[in-house]
Structures are given as C-alpha cells and as structure tokens.
Amino acid sequence: MITYNSKDAAAAMVLAMAAAAISILLTKAQVTRKFRIWISSKSKFAEGLFKCAYCMGHWWIFPGAIYYDLRIIQSPIHAVDVAVSGFATVFVATILEGLMILALSIMDSSHRKEAPEGAQKGEPDGKAPS
C-alpha cells in the first residue's frame, strides 16, 4: 500500500525553495560572477554546472532529500520513495527557478530603462570611472 506524507511534502517544498534560490544565486547572480568564471576555468563539468540552474538544483536537492529522508509517498521500497520525492522536489524547484529568472529579467530591463546611460555599463551613478 502506498500512502501520502504531508509533513514530508511540506519539507520538500521548503527544500525546493532553498535549492531554487541557491541555484539562481550560483548560476545567474552578479555577485557570484567572478566565482563562476574562476570555477569554470578549473573543470568542464563545473563550467556546465554553473551555467545551468536546473542542473545545479539536482546537486542541492538529492543530498537534501537523502539527508532529510524525504518520503512524500511511502511504499515498501524506501529508496524508491526518496528518489521519487527528490524528482518531485526538482520539478517544483524548476518552476520556482523559472519564475525567479523571469523576475530577474523584468527587474533588469526595468533597471536599464531607469538608470543613467553609464549605469548600464556598470557605473551605478552613470559617471565614467576616473
């Protein structure tokens, strides 16, 4: 018999939110740009991982699913339950990542319209660097 575990479902949602935020931070945020360039120079695998929020999410979700022993559904096969819960969490995290990327894109385009001309090139006040 297969049963549903609402406490683990809630934990999976929290894990999905955290993984999505971490994935976007590591793959898209300006604050981690130099780190991405550095890590990408060390390994082709890392280069691919740090370009893909979806890929990065797996590396946060599956260890989290194992650590927290997520079992959204419970069947006689424990490992299958954790794997299914992990993939369900990846699904939710992917939707959240897409929404976050969309929001960042909208904020970025809005910022470019409002910012002085030089600010689009990285100078916050629009003045040329001295």
Q: Has residue 80 been placed in a domain? A: yes
Q: What is the pLDDT of residues 77-118, one digit of tens each?
A: 999 999 999 999 999 999 999 999 999 889 888 777 765 655
Give residue 13's domain range. Answer: 3-116
127 has a pLDDT exceeding 90: no
123 has a pLDDT exceeding 50: no
If one counts every other C-beta atom within 10 angstroms of the C-beta of residue 91, the result is 13
Q: What is the pLDDT of residue 115?
A: 57
Q: Has residue 70 been placed in a domain? A: yes
Cα–chain-centroid distance for residue 21?
Answer: 5
The whole-model pTM stands at: 0.79
3 φ, ψ (degrees, to nearest 5) = -120, 165
Q: Has residue 126 been placed in a domain? A: no
Q: Has residue 124 been placed in a domain? A: no
121 has a pLDDT exceeding 90: no
Q: Tell me how many domains the chain contains.
A: 1
**What average pLDDT score do residues 15-39 get?**
96
Q: What is the pLDDT of residue 70?
A: 96
Q: Has residue 110 been placed in a domain? A: yes
Listed in sequence order, the residues at least 6 apart from 8 whose beta carbon sits closer than 8 Å to its beta carbon are 68, 70, 71, 72, 85
